[in-house]
Amino acid sequence: METSDGTVTMEDGAGLYFQKVGSGPQPAIIPNGLCFLDDFRHLSEWRPLIFYDVRNRGRSDTITDPAKLARGIQQDVDDLDVVRQHFGIDRVDLIGHSYIGLMVGLYAMKYAAHVGRVVQIGPAQPDADKKYSPPLSYADAVFAEVMAKIGQMMKEPPSGDPEEVCENFWEVLRVIYVADPKDADRIDWGRCELANERNFRRYWIGQIWPAIQSLKITVEETAKVTAPVLIVHGNKDRSAPYGGGRDWAMLLPDARLVTVENAAHAPWIEAPELVFGSIKAFLDGTWPEAAEKVVSLGN
């Protein structure tokens, strides 16, 4: 299978690392997706995939100038358009997971003319301040236990090898991303060998999360999205509330939701045929059978 990698240089000089897998027309871009490359690689037999590390993440440049980080997720939106242009794609198909699911939604609002189709997997909710009640927000005993452990770790100043500290953190955290704890060892998102990933919490707290909290997405903005959008969301997602997925499906003009029963924040691990089958059908131009038009927050 044809593979290549390299760096795309942003307008302010920041370099973003990418890997392209597969060949042919109509590549799909997966921002911040390199930690999922092994899970998603098989899709490249059907169409090329471009994975890249977003600003200050993974193997992309480490940014020390605060001005180049200040806009947080809004900067990621503009960076994505530079990546699109670099690969000469007029109308791009996008796959975004978690807070990057929110980011590709924002991209579809700002750069509507350059979007083909969008897949949001377990996207962060459109309104960061909104609270959802059960069953739209899943917080079980597993979540409480993990948060207690993380809280204790945060109180203790880190000591020892930074890579080992990072790995210990992920050993605890990964459990919340799957519905069944026995699948937790399949979550390998830490990339603790990379300094950017070891330092991500500081960047998240300082720039990314405040930028997300400041968003005020209006009906006028969502009305600009002309692309079809498929939301794929586990109904036991402890990280991004399932209610947020339903909200996205109602807010966007041409959107449908695939609910993955008994799945958490990585639904492709727990229901691969449903998730990957739905993505493939959607990017091929049809709504998957499981996709529903959402008209209310209720199930």
pTM, entire model? 0.97
Instruction: Report domain extents, the chain.
Output: 3-283
What amino acid occupies position 196?
Answer: N
Q: Is 69 helix (H, G, I), strand (E, B) or coil?
A: coil
Tens of pLDDT, residue by residue over 151-167, are 998 887 777 799 999 99
Q: Distances from the Cα of 256 to the Cαs of 26, 119, 160, 252, 266, in angstroms?
A: 22, 10, 47, 9, 19
* Alpha helices, DSSP H, located in the chain: 37-40, 73-86, 99-110, 141-155, 162-173, 195-198, 200-203, 209-213, 219-222, 242-251, 267-270, 272-283
As beta bridge partners, residue 17 has 7
CA 99, CA 106: separation in Å to the nearest integer?
11
pLDDT at 2: 80
Confidence of residue 24 (pLDDT cuts 50, 70, 90): confident
DSSP state of 49: E
Tens of pLDDT, residue by residue over 100-150, are 999 999 999 999 999 999 999 999 999 999 999 999 999 999 999 999 999
User: What is the distance of C-alpha 86 from the center of its chain?
Assistant: 21
CATH class of the domain whose range is 3-283? alpha beta
Asked if residues 86 and 105 have their Cβ atoms less than 8 Å apart, the reply is: no
